[in-house]
């Protein structure tokens, strides 16, 4: 079984960069001869931000190459460093320009997305109004012509109510009437 590796996008860390922290630390130390790398690391730690010394060393080297920092003594990340104020201001201005440009680009993108969605909504609304105004006429197909005409619906037959039953006469045993013997009596008299 081959294992698949997923590429995970690294999210950019929020907050100030390590170089920004180094610049602030050097400004806070305000040493006219220059601040050592160890003093800079201690200052960053005292602000409550945890940064690895490897990242601080890289930031010091990057600061020197970009011109934000000036290395007074030593080479690489060792030695003493000062702020190169003229270059630092230029770097700050360039950074601000880049941020503004990125913000403009983002705003422009949002406006374009908004326009597209509005145009799509208008298009959909027009389609709906056209569909309601004009009923769609489709030509009769062969299948429709072959169909038999529908049978006429039969009238609904109401169920008859059952006839009300007449109450049955109560049959009572016949009483013997006196008429019969009376007839006999009449015949005897004759």
Please give the chain's pLDDT, 190 residues, in tens.
556 666 666 666 677 888 888 888 988 888 888 888 899 999 999 988 888 889 989 999 998 888 888 888 888 888 898 887 777 677 778 888 888 999 999 999 999 998 888 888 888 887 777 666 655 555 555 555 555 666 666 666 666 666 666 666 666 555 555 555 555 555 555 5
Distance CA 152, CA 4 (A): 68
6: left (phi over 0), alpha (psi -120 to 50) or beta: beta
* Residue 53: CB atoms within 10 Å: 13
Give, in words, the CATH class of 18-83.
mainly alpha
Q: Which residues contact 103 (CB under 8 A, 6 or more apart)?
A: none
Where do we find the tokens 């160890």? 38
Structure tokens at 77: 């990340």
pTM above 0.75, yes or no: no
Give the CB-side neighbour count of residue 60, counting CA atoms within 13 A: 30
Say if residues 84 and 69 touch (Cβ distance below 8 Å): yes
Q: Give the separation between CA 43 and CA 41, rounded to whole angstroms.
A: 5
Cα gap 140→10, rounded to integer Å: 60
- Considering only CA atoms, give the Rg of the chain: 54
Residue-by-residue DSSP string for 47-73: TT----HHHHHHHHHHHHHHTSEEEEE
For the chain, what are the domain ranges? 18-83, 96-133
Tokens of 117: 């969605």
- Comparing CA positions, the residue from 84, 76, 16, 70 lying closest to residue 47 is 16
């Amino acid at each position: 079984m081959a294992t698949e590796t997923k590429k995970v996008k690294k999210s950019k860390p929020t907050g100030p960069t390590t170089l920004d922290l180094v610049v602030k630390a050097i400004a806070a130390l305000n040493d006219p001869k220059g601040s050592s790398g160890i003093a800079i690391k201690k200052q960053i730690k005292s602000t409550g931000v945890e940064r690895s010394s490897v990242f601080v060393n890289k930031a010091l080297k990057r600061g020197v190459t970009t011109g934000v920092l000036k290395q007074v003594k030593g080479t690489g990340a060792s030695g003493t460093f000062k702020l190169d104020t003229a270059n630092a201001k230029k770097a700050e201005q360039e950074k601000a320009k880049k941020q503004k440009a990125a913000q403009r680009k983002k705003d422009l993108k949002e406006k374009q997305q908004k326009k597209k969605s509005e145009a799509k909504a208008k298009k959909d609304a027009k389609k709906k109004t056209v569909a309601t105004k004009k009923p769609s006429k489709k030509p009769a197909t062969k299948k429709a012509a072959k169909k038999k005409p529908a049978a006429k619906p039969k009238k609904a037959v109401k169920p008859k109510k059952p006839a009300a039953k007449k109450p049955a006469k109560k049959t009572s045993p016949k009483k013997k009437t006196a008429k019969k013997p009376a007839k006999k009596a009449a015949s005897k008299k004759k």
